[in-house]
Each structure stands twice: as C-alpha cells, then as structure tokens.
Amino acid sequence: MPKTTFMGSLSSPKVEVLVDTGNPLLNHTLDGFLKIGTVAVAKVAAEETYHMVKRGSVSKHSLQNSLEKMCKEGAYWGTIAGVYVGMEYGVERVRGTRDWKNAMIGGALTGALVSAVGNNKGDKIIMDAITGGAVATAAEFISYLT
Amino acid sequence: MPKTTFMGSLSSPKVEVLVDTGNPLLNHTLDGFLKIGTVAVAKVAAEETYHMVKRGSVSKHSLQNSLEKMCKEGAYWGTIAGVYVGMEYGVERVRGTRDWKNAMIGGALTGALVSAVGNNKGDKIIMDAITGGAVATAAEFISYLT
C-alpha cells in the first residue's frame, strides 16, 4: 500500500531524532520542520513538474532552478511549522492542558516571532500574531471537524 | 471553565443544523462555515480592538467599519473552510478511507474551486490547487504532531 510506504519514510527521521536529541521541545520542533518541509518540497516539485510538462522540455538550467526553489520553500515552511509545533508543545507544558487555546497561543507566538525575524515592526508584528493565532485556531477546529 | 462554555456555544449550531438539513455533506459544509467564520470574526474583532485602544477613541464610524470587516472576513474564511470540509467529506465517501490523502485531495479541489470562482484562469487555478493541497496536507500532519 502506498500509504504505509510514505508514512514509513516520513516517520523514520522522527525515530532517529528521538534517539539523538533527548530534548522533547527540540524533537517536536525538528519533527515539524522535517515533515512540513517535506510537504513544501513536494508542493514545489508538483508545480515545477507541471511547468516542465507544459513547456515540453527539461533543461539543466530549469532543473537547477527547481531544486533551488524546493530548498527555499522547504526551509521556509519547515521553519514556520517547526516553530509552531515547538511553541504549541511549550504552551501545553506551561498551561498543563491540551485544548484549542494552545493552538491559538502557539499560533500567535509563532506569527509574532516569524514577523519579528522578517524585519517587521510594531503594529505589523501584532497583526501577524493575531492572524497566526486565528489561522492556527481555524486549523485546529478543522481537524476536529474532518 | 471557559473552555466548556466556548465549545458549548460553538457546538450548539451544529446540533440544530444536523436536525434541520438531513444531508451529511451539507451539514459538514455548514458546520465548517459557522465555526471558521466565527474564528475569522474573532480575529477581526481582536485587530479592530487593538486599533481602537491604540487610537484611544471609539467613533460610530469606526465601529461600523469594523462590523463590515467582520462580516466580510467571516464570510470569506467561512466559505473556504466550508468548501474544504465538505470536499474532504466527499473525498472520504468516494475513496472509502480516512487518511492524509483526503486532506490533500480536498485541499486541491478547494484551492481550484476558490481560484476559479475568484476569476482566475488556467495555470493560476492549477497552482492554487497545488498550494491548497499542500497547505491542507501540512495542516493534517501538524494535527498529528501536536
């Protein structure tokens, strides 16, 4: 079954990481980075494949370009996801409970952090924190719904 | 406990809807619309409150403006979430299984539909479908991680 194969290959780095780091917060963060980074790489791969099929030619230059895009988007999505998963885990530890408010607080912290790192200031950081919290809360509710 | 109260108030429309419509696909869609619409309304409310507190004044005009924004964003987020939840439910019915691929397919269909409704054409719709599928897959993985 394709599902088993894919999940297996996604889970294998997790096991190694759990053995290696020994810090649960870091494990969560790394796990989020690897899994969501993989999704982003697959997304760029799909996009680039579509473009190549449409153009009908594969050049060395376009392959190199695609590879660069994969690395960039993979690292970007992976970083945000890693920060979020780490934050939610941290919030869960501090609050001592598991509910949708962890997602909201973790999303808000992640939004603020990503925004601050991206050289935004003042109001923009707060707006990004609110948006991050709202998106994380929405994703949490959707995961209950489906 | 605040959690119980909030979840209670969010769940009440679901029960009514389940009684009213009798179509499970429509129930899922409406449920997603209401819950995620509520999140978006809360997001705009938080943003507007921050602006008002910062400005230090509340005028009739700004209140009206905020209310309009709430309606717009609530309807927009709610529609996308409703379409996604409905799509994922439909995909689950067609495929007969529950796994991350439902999220991917549902996200891709939602991305394509929202993009097509938004007057995009050709390549843009396909790119939005790929992005929708990737975002939904990422959200699904994150919900396993946290």
Q: Which residue from A minimizes the CA distance to B133?
A: A43
Q: Which residue of B has its CA nearest to A37?
A: B138
Give dist(CA B15, CA B30) in Å, integer. Answer: 11
Q: Which residues of chain A have a CB within 8 Å of the CB of B143? A: 139-140, 143
Give residue B46's pLDDT band: very low, low, confident or very high (50, 70, 90): very high
CA angle A64/A70/A72 to nearest 5° reads: 105
Calpha distance A17→A20 (Å, rounded): 5
From first to last of its 146 residues, chain A has per-residue pLDDT tens of: 333 333 434 443 444 444 456 677 888 888 888 889 999 999 999 999 888 888 887 888 888 999 999 999 999 999 999 999 999 999 998 998 888 899 999 999 999 999 999 888 888 999 999 999 999 999 888 887 77
Instruction: Give the residue carrying structure tokens 């439902």.
Output: B102
| b/e per residue A100-131 (b: at least 16 CB within 10 A) | bbbbbbbbbbbbbbbbeeeeeeeeebbbbbbb
pLDDT reported for residue A4: 38
pLDDT score at A58: 80
Residue A110's φ and ψ, nearest 5 degrees, are: -65, -45
Q: Concatenated DSSP letters for B75-102?
A: HHHHHHHHHHHHHHHHHHHHH---SHHH
Q: Nearest-CA distance from A89 to chain B in Å?
A: 7
- A37 has a chain B CB within 8 A of its CB: no
Q: Which residue of B has its CA nearest to A139?
A: B139
Using CA atoms, how far apart are residues A47 and A64, in angstroms rounded to an integer?
14
Residue B20 has pLDDT above 60, yes or no: no
pLDDT of the residue at A20: 53
Only one residue has tokens 């409905």, namely B86
pLDDT in tens, B55-75: 887 888 888 999 999 999 999
Contacts of A81 in chain B (CB under 8 A): 138, 142
Residue with tokens 């209140």: B63
- Establish if B133 touches chain A: CB-CB under 8 angstroms: yes
CA pair distance B79, A47, nearest whole angstrom:
26
B129 pLDDT more than 80: yes
Checking if the pLDDT of B13 tops 70, the result is: no
Whole-number CA gyration radius for chain B: 18
Predicted pLDDT at A21: 64
Which residues of chain A make contact with B89, given a CB cutoff of 8 A? 146
Contact yes or no for B40 and A89 at CB 8 A: no
Question: pTM to 2 decimals?
Answer: 0.75
A137 inside 8 A of chain B by CB = yes
- Start-to-end CA distance of chain B, whole Å, equals 23
Q: Do A142 and B36 touch (CB under 8 A)?
A: yes
Q: How far is CA B82 from CA A104, A127, B75, B100, in A?
A: 20, 25, 10, 18
The sign of the torsion formed by the CA atoms of A70, A72, A76, A78 equals positive
- % pLDDT > 90, chain B: 45
Q: How far apart are CA A130 and CA A104, in angstroms?
A: 9
Task: Output the pLDDT for position B7.
Answer: 40
CA distances from B104 to A128, A130, B71, B108, B141 (A): 26, 26, 29, 6, 11
Residue A115: predicted pLDDT: 92
The predicted-structure confidence for B62-114, as pLDDT tens digits, reads as follows 889 999 999 999 999 999 999 999 999 999 989 988 888 999 999 999 999 99
B28 or A71: which leads in pLDDT: A71
Of B36, B89, B127, the CB nearest to A138: B36
Residue B33 has pLDDT above 60, yes or no: yes
**ipTM of this predicted structure:** 0.74
The string of DSSP codes covering A34-63 is HHHHHHHHHHHHHHHHHHHHHHT---HHHH
